[in-house]
Amino acid sequence: MTILVAVVLALAQGDPSLEARVSAYAAQLREDGTRDRARDRLIHLGKSALPFLEKVDADPTVLASIRQEIALNDSLGTSYGPPHLFSFDGSEESLGVLLSRLESTAGAPFQKNSLDLGQKLSIKLEDATFWEALDEICAKASIWYYPTNDPLYLNGGMASLKPRSYYGPIMAVMDRVIQQRRVNFSTIESDFTIRLMLVWEKSIAPLGTSGRYHLAAVTDDTGAMLIAPPRPAPPAPRPGGLIRPPGQGLDLSGLRPPSPGAKKLSRVEGTLELEFPFRLDEVRFELSADGPTPSKERAIEGAKIELKNFTPQAAWGATMSISIKFDDPKEAAAFRIGPTDIDYVLGSDQKRSGWIGSAKLEDGATYTFVGNWRNGGRQELPKEVRLRIPRGVVIKNVPFSFKDVELK
């Protein structure tokens, strides 16, 4: 048995050694079929993997890009982190147990509609991300879900066949392809657009896409290149509303249409810009244990935060109103709160998320929102609410790759 085979077997058997994991993934960098996934895993092992990367025999250019991306991810602080990974050994387990593992580990509750949670499934995966594991379970159990819903609604029926591209805690879905024809006075112009849908785990807190992207390759199965000569693009539209959504769409537009005889898109590869906060300012408010919490204020650099009220609702939980008055009206106009920016902390230090009911911008500089917390049938109130206020913007380029996509 070679050293390489021994390392790979050690990884498959659950060897916790970080060095073994680095060696196994580095070996997979040599193969076209495993290179992208191995690079992804090495990047998300983080700074602790850097000393072991110095020992591996791999393309120096690839290793340099991995080190660079590890450094960028580390600079994003708590707004970015590695994906939750799941391994299943192929033993039969009930659907309910499998979904509970994903829920409890990733902190992503599901709304389960008309599902047979007792049905037995055999899932075999090694170091799969949350989205990879969820898609595999849904494919085996014939479950359909829409990725941008929060919480995720799992519905009985045929699993989605839309192509996926996974990168760490992020997933890009090829939502649709759109072909348009414009009839002018003397010419007929055709445009081809690929619409992506981006979603991410609750453990990270991107601000959304900038709307900018770089395409490395877009080809069909006749060999035609669909990337058109660059032309000035209009500014990317920002998502409507004042609440940051749990996912976002992005159009890859201005492409050449596929050849008349094409049946597939052979490759769609590139990177997109995802914005993250330069820093996160955390603010904490203690809450009354037995009734409404009166107004409280906290100050951070460039803003004042007021907990206007926290009011228990006997039937289901509590409502909360928060206002953030920014010194800079431009920062107020660009600010968006997201569900992952709010934690409700119970007496056991267990954190729970809620949802945001509404938001508005007042006086040009005061951002106010209403948050809702559901008690899950328990009468216990949270002892504290923690807010993370995103400040500034850092760009992270996220790769995507789709291959052999059927044209319909």
Residues sharing a CB contact under 8 Å with residue 152, sequence separation 6 or more, in sequence order: 108, 110, 111, 134, 145, 146
- Last residue of some domain: 75, 110, 140? 75
- Last residue of some domain: 161, 183, 201? 161
Average pLDDT over residues 29-41: 94
Domain membership of residue 330 (yes or no) is yes
Domain membership of residue 178 (yes or no) is yes
Domain membership of residue 166 (yes or no) is no
Q: Which residues pair with 42 in a beta bridge?
A: none
Structure tokens at 106: 């990733």
Residues sharing a CB contact under 8 Å with residue 144, sequence separation 6 or more, in sequence order: 138, 154, 155, 156, 157, 158, 159, 160
pLDDT of res. 70: 97
**Residue 238: pLDDT over 70:** no
> 286 and 381: one domain?
yes
Please, are residues 131 and 165 in contact by the beta-carbon 8 Å criterion?
Answer: no
Strand intervals (E) in 239-313: 247-255, 264-276, 279-286, 296-300, 303-313
Q: How many domains does the chain have?
A: 4
Domain membership of residue 47 (yes or no) is yes
Domain membership of residue 8 (yes or no) is no
Domain membership of residue 267 (yes or no) is yes
> 313 and 215: one domain?
no
Q: CATH number for the domain including 145?
A: 3.55.50.30
Q: Which residues pair with 318 in a beta bridge?
A: 312, 373
For CA atoms 350, 296, 307, 287, give the dihedral sign: positive
**Residue 1: pLDDT over 60:** no
> 263 and 290: one domain?
no
> 104 and 59: one domain?
no
Q: CATH number for the domain including 382?
A: 2.60.40
CA distance 253 to 263: 20
Chain-centre distance for alpha carbon 161: 19
pLDDT of res. 380: 83
CA distance 202 to 108: 7
Average pLDDT over residues 172-199: 87
Single out the residue of 74, 123, 73 nearest to residue 98, CA to CA: 123
> 265 and 401: one domain?
yes
- Last residue of some domain: 110, 131, 161? 161
CA distance 105 to 339: 18
- State the residue range of the domain holding 109: 85-161
Please, are residues 282 and 300 in contact by the beta-carbon 8 Å criterion?
Answer: no
pLDDT tens digits for range 349-376:
888 888 899 999 999 999 999 999 988 7
pLDDT of res. 182: 74
pLDDT tens digits for range 77-134:
999 999 999 999 999 999 999 999 999 888 778 999 989 999 999 999 999 999 999 9
> 262 and 224: one domain?
yes
> 297 and 203: one domain?
no
Domain membership of residue 259 (yes or no) is yes
> 132 and 156: one domain?
yes
> 206 and 266: one domain?
yes
Domain membership of residue 15 (yes or no) is no
pLDDT of res. 14: 44
Structure tokens at 140: 């085996």
At 407 the three-state DSSP class reads: coil
Give the chain's mean pLDDT: 91
Single out the residue of 397, 407, 389 nearest to residue 168, CA to CA: 397
> 100 and 118: one domain?
yes
Backbone angles phi, psi at 222, to 5 degrees: -95, -5
Q: What is the DSSP letter of 47?
A: G
At 275 the three-state DSSP class reads: strand
> 133 and 191: one domain?
no
Single out the residue of 338, 171, 335, 166 nearest to residue 246, CA to CA: 338
**Residue 62: pLDDT over 90:** yes
Query: How many residues are present in the chain?
Result: 408
pLDDT of res. 5: 44
Please, are residues 33 and 5 in contact by the beta-carbon 8 Å criterion?
Answer: no
Q: Which residues pair with 271 in a beta bridge?
A: 214, 399
> 270 and 285: one domain?
no
Average pLDDT over residues 177-186: 80
Q: How confident is the model at residue 6 (pLDDT cuts 50, 70, 90)?
A: very low
